[in-house]
Amino acid sequence: MKLKKQVTVCGAAIFCVAVFSLYLMLDRVQHDPARHQSGGNFPRSQISVLQNRIEQLEQLLEENHEIISHIKDSVLELTAHAEGQPALPQHPLNGSWVLPPENRPSFLSVSPQDCQFALGGKGQSPDLQMLAVYSLLPFDNQDGGVWKQGFDITYEPNEWDTEPLQVFVVPHSHNDPGWIKTFDKYYYDQTQHILNSMVLKMQEDPRRRFIWSEISFFSKWWDNISAQKRAAVRRLVGNGQLEMVTGGWVMADEANSHYFAMIDQLIEGHQWLEKNIGVTPRSGWAVDPFGYSSTMPYLLKRSNLTAMLIQRVHYAIKKHFAATQNLEFMWRQTWDPDTSTDILCHMMPFYSYDVPHTCGPDPKICCQFDFKRLPGGRINCPWKVPPRAITDANVAERAQLLLDQYRKKSKLYRSKVLLVPLGDDFRYDKPQEWDAQFLNYQRIFDFLNSRPDLHVQAQFGTLSDYFDALYKKVGIVPGMRPPGFPVLTGDFFSYADREDHYWTGYFTSRPFYKSLDRVLEAHLRGAEILYSLALAHSRRAGADGRYPLSDYALLTNARRNLGLFQHHDAIAGTAKEAVAVDYGVRLLQSLTNLKRVIINAAHYLVLGDKDTYHYDPAAPFLGMDETRSSQDSLPERTVVKLGTSPRFLVVFNPLEQERLSVVPVLVDSPHVRVLSEEGQPLPSQLSAVWNSATDAVPDVYQVSVLARLPALGLRVLQLHKALDGHAAPGSSTRLYLHGRDVPVRKPEALPLHVFPAAADDFCLENQHLQACFLGRTGLLQSLRPAGEEQAHRVSSEFLVYGTRTSKDKSGAYLFLPDGEAKPYAPKDPPVVRVMEGPLYSEVASYYQHVQTVVRLYNVPGVEGLSLDVSCLVDIRDHINKELALRFSTDIESDDTFFTDLNGFQIQPRRYQRKLPLQANFYPMPAMAYIQDMQSRLTLLTAQALGVSSLHSGQLEVILDRRLMQDDNRGLGQGLKDNKRTCNRFRLLLERRSTANKSSGFFSKLVSMFKALSFPGTRTGSPEVQDERPISFPSLLSHITSVHQNAEALVMPVALEKPALPALRSFVPLATTLPCDFHILNLRTLQAEDDSLPSAEAALILHRKGFDCSLEAKNLGFNCTTSQGKLALGGLFQGLELGSLQPTSLTLMYPLGTASNSTNIHLDPMEIATFRIRLG
């Protein structure tokens, strides 16, 4: 009681101080003439000054209101803490459940300095902003003559008299690690022969050059060649004949891939190159991804690459950039206040990266210089004019013809240095092709170079030879901005290669594997971190001899399988069916192996007495949380059998923040209670498990427990069979059959009420949110945040897109709908099941092709602030249909919406009415949102899918697509291998505090005066007025996203006997990380023997950019922000930081010298890598 009084007095004192400070501020506003002018650009009319002052007053009032409400909340929480209330849910008379208040403060204060970043406004404007370019272009697709999608190029013959044209012909072979054939089949049939011939043929003439990018293939070949051949390769790389470009494990897809996996495959490739060849890539090469994300130039720049090349960009943008000589530009991040993220990017101008489309604008002529197509070969020129071998008799005429193309192409660029790629898919696989290309081209070069009057210097080159020559020509250091070159911000989605053929279908194609990709990624990150911690702790205890170091090989294999799947025909869903199965088998094998790595690490870390640790591969200490029977099946969760002895669970939280989560466990008895490791009862809920809408699984129950899980740590829980009435409280269920005659199997021990008709409309609510549903469909209708009078319309519906009847139809790549979507009309009405319980309530709607579950958690903090939405989709009986989920709201978003790029950054989008429907879809790997002045609605996703906003207030996502035909892009198949797929989302409604600044009565009055005085000014979404193309999620949105993507893993202790060693929860972090810091990875580096770990690890951190203008009360995360400062020295409990070396992203270059200080600083949005030793 004494404590309660102290807390109350303290709270009252703070309240008085706040009120007094408010009084002083108001006084200052009235007497400080400088503040009257703070509007800067306001006209000096009385109305404007009045409005300005009122807005300032309201802002100050609002800030004080916030402070006071936070104080109030925290006083209440402290009081609750002082009274020590039991943490079990209570059931009041009205039937809804109430959780007691949290027994610790959960209010978050963000430093004002950390809010400045999202406001932007520093730095200069770019010359080219892609949103503005889209608004500018007519997209009229006029016939350009020989260059169909371009224009006629002319030049004066004497243009090169003072400065000769320098031509670099760059031989390349594009090797897909899986597409028409599997990775291994391609390797054995083609790739190994390409690389073997390369070693042989490059040594014949030192003027020959070749580039290679896919390290997945290169490493496989390396493992199979002799030491002599390896030495020859190192010589070729050393003397500049062979260049490794980009150096990633694959040439990654940039639409669907998540930034963790993009970075991981880059590190895997770069580490392999450094270890085996001793080389660091300098230039990026991405000729085949179907559109480009601005995340990739950031990652390449952070890896110390100085230039990059792209090819598959919308033909209208290519034409526009060519006409304005903007095909080479400095690509900059939208948030960059200076030039630190700039990287030189070269965009290829023509239709394809094959030989007919790379020498110049006329494919009919260029094809004549693809000497693989000489008469008598297997491929010819579609333009009906074959190549001719170069002889002394024809070299003058042939060289002149080719030079004309080179000159025309060079007119599209600013410099007199020209890049001419020479290659195609799986080229140079036979020695004859090497001879045909290299000998004939060398004859042309020799002729051109011998004629000074032609003013041309032509040679074979690598990609970096080209960029080096370009930098030398303009006289600056590689990596700097060449004079006059434009700065560009934005991305290159969505891609069309001709007509209205938009490559927006692959944003969703094969969603089952897109989902499995993210499950594997979360497991890889979790396994890397836990393995690194277990290894460091075992070394410190001198027990590393008993720890299974062999797990490192499993980690390497998983990195490589996840890396392989980032390939632009893998995660994209654009490979043949058999190849998709091969990827699936690899993903599942790695997923199973990673669960083993996590189990072995967790086993060691939770043992109270580490000396009792014994690794037995035949009898793992912990069981797996779930299993998958095959690569294309959904997971089946493990059922824990309860007996007379308690069963122990170890729960792993892969997040770097402590979390309060509802942890689900399947058990074989309804009589269960859950205790902490100390034996304290924990809040829990018992629910039935359902096979179908009306069929409860016998003898299986889900007990959901509310547990506080330590950051990156392991929590030990106990399950007891409860025989004395202390069992977990049950949930009650209502089943609405909607007039359908279906058999019902009721769950034992839990109440079920069956209603033959449809339900009336109904609502679920928790302390943060009320969600209302339509009775006859069970679909969401509205959301009302706590404290708001008015509900927001947020209604969901399912829709179906068909495909065209004309010759060009949708396929794996293309989305070619037959018009707007039509409502999904199943033959039967849905069965709706409503379950209510103390920890969560949910509504399940069972339709013929989709089952949707909307869940509302009744818990404090992050999980209770958003809706959990999942859709189990099965469209295997559809023909040429795509299923979409659309949310319609009263948010006045106009034509603006926002989608993420690779889970790393947000890109504002604008619905373009001048473009077809399919052009307005974009990739959504992690989230999309719409907003107006008052609200923001965010859809967070656990898997990459295609998204759009086709009308104001709408957000829609394509869930799955089943297409019966090929779309003529080389695959030769439709998409008919659909699986039962579970798509998981979170729906988050946030209030924007900008709304308050103009919502006061006087402000409204002034606005009316202004409208009368200055008619015609446009009101609407702030994005229309504010053309800065930059936006950030809120901190709550970021944390909700990581909660969704890194679920807690529940591992039952396998031993059912009572003779268990003592287990202790593992808390690895000594301090709380700032809210905006994300540990992307803690990746143990390989030793000399690459199957074993070294003593070093890579710590990769990301400081997230966030928007402070979104309000939320009781966020429930106990962290704050720190202006980017972090002390790593004392971060890991029980471990010392032996060394700390900042490096480039992929660890190839040390940045500065390793200092004794362990304090680091990151700018917002920065990703930084440190080479560390823990022990």
Cα 764 to Cα 840: distance, rounded to the nearest angstrom: 10
Cα 605 to Cα 657: distance, rounded to the nearest angstrom: 19
End-to-end alpha-carbon separation of the chain, Å? Answer: 46
Q: Give residue 14's pLDDT.
A: 55
pLDDT band, very low/low/confident/very high, at 30 (cuts 50, 70, 90) = very low
On the 0-12 / 13-18 / 19+ scale of CB atoms within 10 A, 490 is buried
Q: Give residue 54's pLDDT.
A: 53
CA angle 754, 756, 761 (to 5 degrees): 85
pLDDT tens digits, residue range 665-697?
A: 999 999 999 999 999 999 999 999 999 999 999
Higher-pLDDT residue of 97, 236:
236
Higher-pLDDT residue of 916, 1004:
916
Higher-pLDDT residue of 1143, 1019:
1143
Instruction: Report how many helices (DSSP H) and strands (DSSP E) the chain contains, helices first.
Output: 22, 48
Name the percent of the chain lying above pLDDT 90. 82
Q: Are 673 and 727 contacting, i.e. CB atoms less than 8 angstroms apart? A: yes
Residues ≥6 apart with Cβ < 8 Å to 103: 77, 80, 81, 84, 85, 87
Instruction: Give how far the C-alpha of residue 60 lies from the chain's centroid of Cα atoms, to the nearest Å.
Output: 38
Higher-pLDDT residue of 901, 1014:
901
In angstroms, the Cα distances linking 144 to 149, 361, 368, 663, 994 are 5, 10, 21, 61, 48
Residue 1010 has pLDDT above 80, yes or no: no
Instruction: Give the Cβ contact number of residue 157 at 10 Å.
Output: 10
Residue 166 has pLDDT above 90, yes or no: yes
pLDDT band, very low/low/confident/very high, at 110 (cuts 50, 70, 90) = confident
* Beta-strand pair 867-873/283-286: unpaired
Q: Which amino acid is at 995?
A: A
Q: Which amino acid is at 560?
A: R
Q: Give residue 11's pLDDT.
A: 55
Please compute the mean of the pLDDT values over residues 424-451 and round it to a whole number. 98
For 618-645, b/e burial (b = at least 16 CB within 10 A) is: eebbbbbbbebeebbeeeebbbbebeee
In angstroms, the Cα distances linking 854 to 297, 500, 757 are 38, 37, 21
Residue 50, SS3 per DSSP? helix
Q: Give residue 723's pLDDT.
A: 81
According to DSSP, residue 449 is labeled H
pLDDT band, very low/low/confident/very high, at 113 (cuts 50, 70, 90) = confident
pLDDT tens digits, residue range 622-661?
A: 999 999 999 999 999 999 999 989 999 999 999 999 999 9
Residue 546, SS3 per DSSP? coil
Q: Are 923 and 256 contacting, i.e. CB atoms less than 8 angstroms apart? A: yes
Q: Give residue 1012's pLDDT.
A: 44
Q: Are 1072 and 1147 contacting, i.e. CB atoms less than 8 angstroms apart? A: no
Please compute the mean of the pLDDT values over residues 739-761 and round it to a whole number. 94
According to DSSP, residue 1140 is labeled E
Cα 167 to Cα 157: distance, rounded to the nearest angstrom: 17
pLDDT band, very low/low/confident/very high, at 1029 (cuts 50, 70, 90) = confident
Residue 95 has pLDDT above 60, yes or no: no
Q: Give residue 1055's pLDDT.
A: 78
pLDDT tens digits, residue range 822-844?
A: 999 999 999 999 999 999 999 99
Q: Give residue 860's pLDDT.
A: 87
CA angle 356, 358, 360 (to 5 degrees): 90
Residue 859, SS3 per DSSP? coil
Q: Are 680 and 716 contacting, i.e. CB atoms less than 8 angstroms apart? A: no
Structure tokens at 489: 């911000």
Residues ≥6 apart with Cβ < 8 Å to 538: 544, 546, 547, 604, 610
Q: DSSP letter string over 934-992?
A: SEEEEEEESS-EEEE--STTEEEEEEEEEB-S--SSS----B-----EEEEEEEEEEEE
Give the H/E segment covering residue 448: helix 431-449
Q: Are 1079 and 117 contacting, i.e. CB atoms less than 8 angstroms apart? A: no
Residue 1145 has pLDDT above 80, yes or no: yes
Q: Give residue 482's pLDDT.
A: 96
Beta strands in 995-1076 (DSSP E): 1049-1052
Please compute the mean of the pLDDT values over residues 377-389 and round it to a whole number. 96
Rounded CA Rg of the chain: 31
Q: Give residue 76's pLDDT.
A: 38
Residue 993 has pLDDT above 60, yes or no: yes
pLDDT band, very low/low/confident/very high, at 787 (cuts 50, 70, 90) = confident
Q: Give residue 92's pLDDT.
A: 39
Cα 683 to Cα 685: distance, rounded to the nearest angstrom: 7
Residue 63 has pLDDT above 50, yes or no: no
Please state which of the ranges 31-45, 334-348, 453-467, 725-739 shows the lowest mean pLDDT.
Answer: 31-45
Q: Which amino acid is at 180?
A: I
Residue 221 has pLDDT above 60, yes or no: yes
Cα 956 to Cα 987: distance, rounded to the nearest angstrom: 12
Query: Which sequence positions are flagged as catalytic?
Result: 288
Mean pLDDT (the chain, rounded): 90
Residues ≥6 apart with Cβ < 8 Å to 282: 243, 305, 306, 307, 464, 467, 478
Please compute the mean of the pLDDT values over residues 865-877 and round it to a whole number. 97
Beta strands in 85-235 (DSSP E): 128-129, 165-174, 210-212
pLDDT tens digits, residue range 948-962?
A: 999 999 999 999 999
